[in-house]
Structure formats: structure tokens, C-alpha cells
Amino acid sequence: MSNEQENSITQSVSQRYAQAVTNGEEMCCPTGYNHEDLGQFIPEAVLKVSYGCGTPVGLSTVQAGEVVLDIGSGGGIDCFEASRKVGASGKVIGIDMTDEMLALARTHAPTVAKNLGYPTTNVDFRKGFADAMPVEDNQVDLIISNCVINLAPDKKKVFREMFRVLQPGGRFTISDIVADQLIPQYMIHDSAKWGDCLSGALTVQDYWGGLRDAGFRGLHQVTVIPWRVIDGIHFVSVTLTGYKTAVNSSSPSPAFATLTGPFSKVEDELGTTFHRGSPQQVDEQTVSLLSLPSYKEHFVVADHPIPLTSQDPQMVAVLPEDKPCVWEGRFAILTGPFLAVTDDDDHTYRCGEPLEICSKTLKVLQHPSYQPSFGTINRARESITAEPVICGTSTECC
């Protein structure tokens, strides 16, 4: 896409969001905010222009005194909620490209501060773009964004900017719309569908890959909700978290890591392969990676090798039922944190790549140990009348 086309799309989206301040149009997919709670300190004028595809759940991790950055702050609802979370000693930065939205947010910032009992507002609304943020390097503890990165023509630039402004050890939790396949050109060049959060949607594979290329690790879904199906393309609302790790050294370490499951084999984001129950020595960078919340539950890390047997209570395995299965049009998408995983039926899932699964495998992926790592879609366009089959190599199943 040329710079001229990118600028045209950006201008079109900005104009549409500017008009929404006055005409009340619902942009993207409306989010289920708790207006009763937020209305206690946020003016109604802000609440009625709040858009997005997922509530900013990352704010539940905020500590008093932290610095929070909201990309695409709009009327300011998420910034004002962040302001309440970080307290008077914290700071919130809101970035938006639309003058009308910025004016609305700035107008009501003093009122919000007064309602929260702060001597002055701790929210700084700045005009800027997601791919060129007016924020210093290594300044932010948490980035939030609600269905905004989708609107940026060059998301790789946005991801690099996110990594730049986060301090080591910082994290992001963002909501966005992704697709199960590449968006065709006729959608990409439809400016109206950009404002609908359709034309700019990346596949899970490209979205996660772009974040990893920027330097983020520990990527994992928080929520995944099917949204719309248009011309056979599945659009999904996802909320995901990732981290800017503080350790980048690959120096040898006296630590050993043992995969506990539920997968029989995994490949982490540094390219290291682990087999369930078998300890292996890891370097400092891998130790840092495995300490992230999305990895920690899958490993035992110690200063000596700890092999695990199938009888060990730390081991987790989820076996499929021993009965025929049915093909129902279901596809599973691995959403991290691993680059690839293998289950106990020898299915190998690669991050972001849809894999067709049978009814037995679907039940395995719905187990609490598997569910946080997968999203599923149904590509069947009509009701299924397939007969049960016995799994085996002839049916390309388990």
C-alpha cells in the first residue's frame, strides 16, 4: 500500500470518528461497559461516544503510581478509568488523531479529577498517531488499546512504537479484530469498511507475528469472541497480552525447565523445544521467558533437573475419548504463547494457523488446561449431517 493510500485511509477514518462525536454513530462493535459504575465519575457526554471491541481488562493489573498509555483514547473513557486505577500518584497518557475526540476528552478531564478527589488531572491527552506516538522511550508500564490498532494501515510500525515506549518489564493488554484468513483486495480498498474494523484486520498469525517481530514475548489471548462472518471470512474479537521482557541475555544458566503439560511437546517463542516430563537446561533469556504468567503454569523451573512421570500430580495430560468422532466444520487456532504445540493425539498446532478438528479434539480443547490457548471457529455454512467415523490415518483424523 502506498503512502498516499495510507494517508487517505487515515483521513477517512479520522473524519468518520469526528462525525461520531455529534451524530452518535456506533463504531466498530460496541463494548459492554458498566455505565452505572463509570457514570459515578465520568460525564455522560464521554460515555455515549465510547467504542471498541473489548473492555480494557488490562486495567485489572494496574498498580497505584504506574504510567498507563491508551492508544486511540477517543472521548477518554478508558483513560479516565485508568486514572481511577493508578491513583493520584500515577499518570495516564491518551493518544488520538481526531481533534473532536481530543477536545471532548480534555474538556471533561478536570471534572473527572474532581469527582475522583484529585487536586488536578493526571491524564494527558496528546494528538498523535499510533505509528508515531508522541511519547518518550521506556516511559510506560502498561499499554491499553480498544479496537484501534486495526485502523492503522501499517501495524508493524505501531507494534515497534509500542515496544519503544514500554519500559523493560512492561506489558500491554489490547483488544482488536482479527480474521481467520487474509483480507481480499476489494475489502482493503473499501474505505468504509476500514471504519467498520474489517478492512484492516490481520490474521492471527500476522498479528501475533508482528508483535513478536517487534520484540514482545509471552503473547496470549485473554478472551476470544466470534464477531462477524462476511464473504466466508471469520472476524473475531480478541483481547491479548504481551510483555517486554527485562532480560535478553542468552548466557548459560544453572536453571533447568520441565514441561508439565497439557501438551506433549511445545516450541517456545525463542525456538526451544520441550517434551513433557523431560528436564533440560535453559539460558537466562529462557528463564525470563518461562517466568511470564502465560508460561509459568506450564513449567517447573529449578536449579537442578526435575524429571516427571505420568503419576506425578504436576503432570497434565488430556486424552481424547475412545469413541467415534464427527466432522462438524470446526477449526482451532492456537493463540499462544507457544509457536507450536502437540497434543496427545499427535495433532500439531502452529500459532495463528487454523487447523480442522473433529468433535473429540474439540472436547479436548475445551478442557480448562487447553482452553486459554485456543480460539475456535465454525466454517460450516449449513447444518452438518456427517456420520460418526472411527479415528485413524484413513480419515485424516486422530
Does residue 289 sit in the same domain as residue 355?
A: no
Give pLDDT, residue 390: 66
Residue 113: pLDDT over 80: yes
Angle at 27 between CA 73 and CA 96, to 5 degrees: 20
Q: Which residue has the higher pLDDT, 204 or 151?
A: 204
CB distance 224 to 375 below 8 Å: yes
Residue 259: pLDDT over 90: yes
Does residue 188 sit in the same domain as residue 310?
A: no
CATH number at residue 210: 3.40.50.150
Please state the domain count of the chain: 3
CATH number at residue 301: 3.40.5.100
Q: Based on the number of CB atoms within 10 Å of its own CB, is 118 exposed (0-12), middle (13-18) or buried (19 or more)?
A: middle
Asked if residue 89 belongs to a domain, the reply is yes
Asked if residue 41 belongs to a domain, the reply is yes
Does residue 185 sit in the same domain as residue 252?
A: no
Asked if residue 15 belongs to a domain, the reply is yes
Q: Quick: pLDDT tens for 197-236.
A: 788 899 999 999 999 999 999 999 999 988 899 999 999 9
Residue 330: pLDDT over 90: yes
CA gap 114, 345 in Å, rounded = 59
Asked if residue 322 belongs to a domain, the reply is no
Lowest-pLDDT choice from 160-164, 295-299, 386-390: 386-390
Residue positions counted in the chain: 398
Among 317, 347, 376, residue at a domain's last position: 317
Label residue 384 by pLDDT band (50, 70, 90).
low
Residue 253: pLDDT over 90: no
Among 193, 228, 243, residue at a domain's last position: 243
CA gap 133, 234 in Å, rounded = 31
Does residue 186 sit in the same domain as residue 87?
A: yes
Instruction: Output the CA torsion sign for 62, 135, 148, 221.
Output: negative
Does residue 284 sit in the same domain as residue 333?
A: no
Does residue 107 sit in the same domain as residue 229?
A: yes
Q: Quick: pLDDT tens for 6-64.
A: 555 455 544 544 454 454 545 555 456 777 888 899 999 998 877 655 566 678 889 99
Give pLDDT, residue 37: 87
Q: Which domain holds residue 9?
A: 3-243
Residue found by looking up cell 467415523 in the block: 389
Give pLDDT, residue 242: 97
Does residue 18 sit in the same domain as residue 135?
A: yes
Q: How many CA atoms lie within 13 A of 268 on its CB side?
A: 25
Does residue 126 sit in the same domain as residue 259?
A: no
Label residue 5 by pLDDT band (50, 70, 90).
low
Among 260, 291, 317, residue at a domain's last position: 317
CA gap 307, 280 in Å, rounded = 9
Q: Quick: pLDDT tens for 101-110.
A: 999 999 999 9
Does residue 138 sit in the same domain as residue 258?
A: no
Does residue 143 sit in the same domain as residue 260?
A: no
Does residue 75 sit in the same domain as residue 54?
A: yes
Give pLDDT, residue 198: 81
How far from 325 is each of 230, 318, 375, CA to CA, in Å?
A: 29, 16, 20
Beta partners for 47? none
The residue-averaged pLDDT of 341-350 equals 97
CB distance 256 to 303 below 8 Å: yes
Does residue 343 sit in the same domain as residue 279?
A: no
